[in-house]
Amino acid sequence: DAYAPFFPKTAGSGSSTTYACDAAWSATGDRVCFVGGAWYDAAFCGVFALTVDIAVGDSRADFGARLQVLDKNPATL
């Protein structure tokens, strides 16, 4: 789909060996979108990993971010 290229129309044909993984879950109620995956599941991570099944009031310890220091002078790193 040209309007949503990273959302598959169907799920189930991908695998970790083809590098075209997919999965689909559904849940009711308001949900929060997390991008990047969880630290505990190496098969579900990466820039295009997307989770939209987490409840709005849920608190999680398995999602995070990598911190990066950007220095104007790379020689000082």
Report pLDDT digits (tens) over 1-25: 566 666 666 666 666 666 666 666 6
Q: Is the pLDDT of residue 56 over 80?
A: yes
| Average pLDDT of the chain to the nearest whole number | 69
Report pLDDT digits (tens) over 20-46: 666 666 677 888 877 776 767 666 666
Q: Confidence class of residue 55 from pLDDT cuts 50, 70 and 90?
A: confident
SS (H, E, C) 29-62: CCEEEEEEECCCCCCCEEEEEEEEEEECCCCCCC
Q: Is the pLDDT of residue 48 over 80?
A: no
